[in-house]
Structure 1
Amino acid sequence: MRQRLSKALGDTARAARQQAGLTQADVAERIGVATEVYGRLERGLLMPSVPTLRRLCVALHLPADKLLALSSTQPPAWAEAPPPPEREGPQMRRLLRHARKLSPHQLRALSLVAATLHREE
């Protein structure tokens, strides 16, 4: 979900910047980041901090809900809801049953393993 949000934000920022007739360097200077950093933001490789997001909205004259693709009545493409529990497969249900029995320390360890496996995809 984070990658889709980053991509949507970057695409919207690029379109707004181009519509305003600004270069990446112009926007980067206005929001107080290096041009390379702003370029990564437009390519969807970087999520801005909240203060930077606010400065970006001001620089591009764009409300935050539009920049985050929240302004339509439809849910944004990046906000995919997880499947309802009844549609999860038996392996996922089994894993959840086991996870619910773990201590906080064991659950933290399982979370780290899962995060590492997810990054390797």
Structure 2
Amino acid sequence: MTEYVVRFLVGGVMVSAFSMLGDVLRPKSFAGLFGAAPSVALATLGIAIYRHGATYAATQTFSMMAGAVALVVSSVVVCHLLMRARMRALPATLLSTVLWLIMAFGLWALAGGRA
């Protein structure tokens, strides 16, 4: 239970800090980008370091980076499918999700991922 309270508090502080940073930057659409993912990731990594040590947190960090790279690629693909191939949103999203899964797990396995 304490872990959830800490995650909630650290995440809330980080969301506020990144939102303030995003508010200062241009364009204003960066506020939402900086408000969500980095704050949750940092709160999770802080707890991982505290509970499991730096090696475990490093593995978590690599997993987050692999997922982010896969997300960028799948986002670009879905944009191309929607704009250039004129696909409907649902099939384009489903294809992109399959691509994301293949890329994320592929990058994880390529780096010697372990469960």
Answer yes or no: same fold by TM over 0.5. Answer: no
TM-score normalised according to structure 2 size: 0.26
**Which of the pair is proportionally richer in helix?**
2
Higher relative contact order (CA 8 A, sep 6+): 1
